[in-house]
Structure 1
C-alpha cells in the first residue's frame, strides 16, 4: 500500500521517511493542502525506475522496428554480431 504523507512530514519526520523509502524501496507520496505535490524515493529505487524505463523504451523501439520490416535474425546471428562488436571494442580499448 502506498505511503501518503503531508509534505510537513518531510521536515518534521525526515528520518522516518528516509527509513521507509530505503527499507521498502517504495516511494512516499507527499501532499500539500490535500493534493499530491511530491514523491520521495531512494536513489537506488530512482535509478532502477530509470533503468526499467530505458528497457521498456528499447523494447517498444524494437517492436516498432519489427512491425516495419520483415528482416529477422537468428539467435546465432545476433550473438555473433554482439561478440564481434565487443571484440572490436576491447581491441580498441587496449590500443
Structure 2
C-alpha cells in the first residue's frame, strides 16, 4: 500500500515513546557489532525509564536485525515520494 510513514505508524505510538532516528553503519564496518552496541546502550536506557521505542527502516535486511533486539513490525507501506518499501517497528520496554 502506498502511504506516508505517519499513516503507517500505529496511533498507539506517540509522544511518550522514544522514536529512534537515523542509524547507519558504513558498509565496510557492517557485521562488526557496531550498530548493535549503539542500539543496546539506548535500549537499556529506555528500559530503565520504562519507555517503548519505535523506528522505521527502508532496508529489508534490517528487519531481522531489529527483531533480534526485540522489535516487531507494526506497520509497513510503500513511501509516497520514493516508492520504496518501509517498515515501522516497535519494541516494548523490557525488564532489566
- Per the normalisation by structure 2, the TM-score is 0.27
- TM-score, normalising length: structure 1: 0.27
Higher strand proportion, which one?
A: 2
